[in-house]
Amino acid sequence: MDYREYIVKKLNVAEITAADVSLPPNTEMGDYALPCFKLAKVMRKSPVQIAEQLKDSFVCDEIISEVSAVNGYLNFKLDKAGLARAVLSEVLEKGEGYASSKEGNGKTVCIDYSSVNIAKPFHIGHLSTTVIGGALYKIYKFLGYNAVGINHLGDYGTQFGKLICAYKKWGVKEEVQKGGIHAINALYVRFNEEADEQMQSQAREYFRLIESGDREANELFEWFKSLTLEYVNGIYKKLNVTFDSYAGERFYTDKMQPVIDELREKNLLKESEGAQIVDLEEYGMPPCLILRSDGASLYATRDLAAATYRKNAYDFYKCLYVVAYQQNLHFKQFFKVLELMGKPWAKDLVHVAYGMVSLEDGAMSTRKGKVVWLEDVINKCVEKAYSVIDEKNSALENKRETAEIVGLGAVIFGALYNNKIKDITFSYDKVLSFEGETSVYVQYTCARANSVLSKADGKIELPPTYVPNTAEYEVVKTLAELPETVHAAAEKYEPSLVARFAVDLAQKFNKFYIECKILTAEGDTKKFRIALTKAVHTALKISLALLGIGAPEKM
Contact residues toward ligand ARG (CB under 6 A) are 112, 115, 117, 152, 154, 303, 306, 321, 323
Q: Which of 311, 327, 326, 331 is nearest to 110 (CA)?
A: 311
Provide the minimum distance between the beta carbon of 308 and ligand ARG in the complex, in angstroms, as a whole number: 12
Among 337, 330, 342, 338, smallest CA distance to 310 is for: 338
Question: Quick one: 93 exposed, middle or buried, by C-beta within 10 A (0-12, 13-18, 19+)?
Answer: exposed
Q: Residue 117 or residue 218: which is nearer to ligand ARG going by CB?
A: 117
CB of 532 to ligand ARG, least distance (A): 44
Q: Would you call 245 helix, strand, or coil by DSSP?
A: strand
Query: Are residues 552 and 405 in contact, defined by beta-carbon separation less than 8 angstroms?
Result: yes
CB of 116 to ligand ARG, least distance (A): 7
Give CB contacts under 8 A, 24+ apart, made by 338-341.
Answer: 338/304, 338/307, 338/308, 340/266, 340/268, 340/278, 341/262, 341/263, 341/266, 341/268
* Count of CB atoms situated within 10 Å of the CB of 517: 11
Main-chain phi, psi angles of 550, to 5 degrees: -85, 165
Determine contact, residues 136/242, Cβ cutoff 8 Å.
no
In 3D space, the residue among 254, 243, 242 whose CA is nearest the CA of residue 308 turns out to be 254
Give 323 or 449: the residue with its C-beta nearer to ligand ARG: 323
Choice between 123 and 527, CB closer to ligand ARG: 123
Hey, which residues does 33 pair with through a beta bridge? 22, 75
d(CA 543, CA 538): 9
- How many residues does this entry show for the chain? 555
As measured in angstroms, the least distance from the Cβ of 368 to ligand ARG is: 17
Q: Which is nearer to ligand ARG, 113 or 513 (CB)?
A: 113
Minimum distance, C-beta of residue 133 to ligand ARG, in the bound complex (Å): 10
- Helices 482-491 + 523-547 axis angle, to 10: 10
> Which residue lies nearer to ligand ARG by CB, 45 or 292?
292
Pick the closer one to ligand ARG by CB: 85 or 250.
Answer: 250
Cβ-based nearer residue to ligand ARG, 118 or 544? 118
Name the minimum Å distance from CB 115 to ligand ARG.
4
175 φ/ψ angles, rounded to the nearest 5 degrees: -65, -40
DSSP character at residue 228:
H
C-alpha distances (whole Å) from 377 to each of 127, 230, 360, 426, 494 are: 10, 19, 12, 10, 23
Cα–Cα distance measured from residue 113 to residue 234, given in angstroms and rounded to the nearest whole number: 16
Quote the least distance from Cβ 232 to ligand ARG, whole Å: 12
Which lies closer to ligand ARG via its Cβ, residue 79 or residue 303? Answer: 303
Shortest reach from residue 310's CB to ligand ARG, in Å = 10
Which is closer to ligand ARG, CB of 252 or CB of 513? 252
Q: What does DSSP say about strands 269-272 and 357-359: parallel, antiparallel, or unpaired?
A: unpaired
Minimum CB distance to ligand ARG smaller for 30 or for 154? 154
> Is residue 119 within 8 Å of 224, Cβ to Cβ?
yes
Nearer to ligand ARG, 357 or 447 (CB): 357
Report, in angstroms and rounded to the nearest whole number, the Rg of the chain calculated over CA atoms. Answer: 28
Least distance between ligand ARG and beta carbon 226 (Å): 18
Closest distance of CB 333 from ligand ARG, Å: 12
Could you tell me the smallest distance in angstroms from the CB atom of residue 247 to ligand ARG?
Answer: 10
| Nearest distance, CB of residue 301 and ligand ARG, angstroms | 11
| DSSP E strands, 36-78 | 64-70, 73-78
Cβ closer to ligand ARG: 152 or 527?
Answer: 152
